[in-house]
Amino acid sequence: MTSPALTAASLHDMIADLLGMPGALLPILHRVQEKLGFVPREALALIANELNLSRAEVHGVMTFYHDFRETPPGKTVVKVCQAEACQAMGAEKLTKHACKRLGTEMHHTSASGAYTLEPTYCLGNCALSPAIMIDGHLHGRVTQERFDALIEARQA
């Protein structure tokens, strides 16, 4: 993913409406990631500046939360639930299959940059397990065949 160079002005525009919120840091980090796909290193100092925090504080918050990425993700982000209800229905096998099919390990992006594979701990779809999320879309009862079909549909 190529993102235009982040300047103080462009970051300010991106988050201006959030600056007045009490406890604005999480909404701001979400916004930046929503717009850029990740939270680039250079954004941290700019955010810190906007909120009168130190860069270390912003970095500390950002790294505490599993959601925020420091590097650009692949074109498609696939999250496979690793929690108990999905394990009970074969999440482990599905995860292995996903790694093979997408050509990457958990927490990584495929060499082609097409896919990022991430673990997640419950998607609230535990009665229709195993569950996965592809770019924010929830899928249930995901067999290996269905996984492949969903990935192909995403590419199309």
Partner 1 sequence: MAIKVFVPRDSAALSVGADAVAAALVTEAARHNEAVTLVRNGSRGLLWLEPLVEVETPAGRVAYGPVTPECVPALFQANFLQGGTHALRLGVTEDIPYLKRQERLTFARVGITDPLSLDDYLAHGGYRGLRNALDLPGDQVVAAVTTSGLRGRGGAAFPTGIKWKTVLNTAATQKYVVCNADEGDSGTFSDRMVMEGDPFVLIEGMTVAGVAVGATRGYIYLRSEYPYAFRTLNAAIDAANGRGYLGENVLGSGKAFHLEVRLGAGAYICGEETAMLESLEGKRGIVRFKPPLPAIEGLFGKPTVINNVISFASVPIIMDKGGEFYRDFGMGRSRGTLPFQLAGNIKHGGLVEKAFGLTLRELLYDYGGGSATGRPIRAVQVGGPLGAYLPESQFDVPLDYEAYIGISAMIGHGGVVAFDDTVDMAKMARYAMEFCAIESCGKCTPCRIGSTRGVEVVDKIIAERERAANVQLLRELCDTMLHGSLCALGGMTPFPVLSALNHFPEDFGITREGIAA
Task: Enumerate residues 100-129 that contact ligand FES by CB under 6 A.
Answer: 122-126, 129
Structure tokens at 122: 């419950």
Contacts with 50 (C-beta within 8 Å, 6 or more apart), sequence order = 11, 12, 15, 19, 28
Q: How far apart are CA 120 and CA 126, in angstroms?
A: 13
> What torsion do the CA atoms of 108, 132, 92, 97 make, to the nearest 10 degrees?
-60
Least CB distance to ligand FES at residue 86 (A): 3
Residue 154 C-beta: closest distance to ligand FES, Å: 20
Among 48, 83, 106, 114, binds ligand FES (CB under 6 A): 83
Q: Does residue number 98 form part of the binding site for ligand FES (CB under 6 A)? A: no
Q: Which residues contact 35 (CB under 8 A, 6 or more apart)?
A: 14
Applying the rule CB under 8 A, the residues between 77 and 116 that interact with partner 1 are: 83-89
Considering only residues 24, 45, 48, 77, which one is a binding residue for partner 1 as defined by CB under 8 A?
Answer: 24
The contacts of residue 56 (CB under 8 Å, 6+ apart) are none
As a whole number of angstroms, the distance between CA 25 and CA 51 comes to: 8
Q: From the list 36, 78, 131, 134, which residue makes contact with ligand FES (rule: CB under 6 A)?
A: 131
Residue 108, binding choice from ligand FES, partner 1, none, Cβ under 5 to 8 Å by partner class = none
Instruction: Give the C-alpha distances (Å, rounded to integers) separating 142 from 7, 30, 56, 135.
Output: 42, 28, 41, 16
Binding-residue total with partner 1 (CB under 8 A): 41
Residues lying near partner 1 in the complex (CB under 8 A): 22-27, 29-30, 51, 60-61, 64-68, 83-89, 120-129, 131, 133, 136-141
Residues lying near ligand FES in the complex (CB under 6 A): 81, 83-86, 122-126, 129, 131
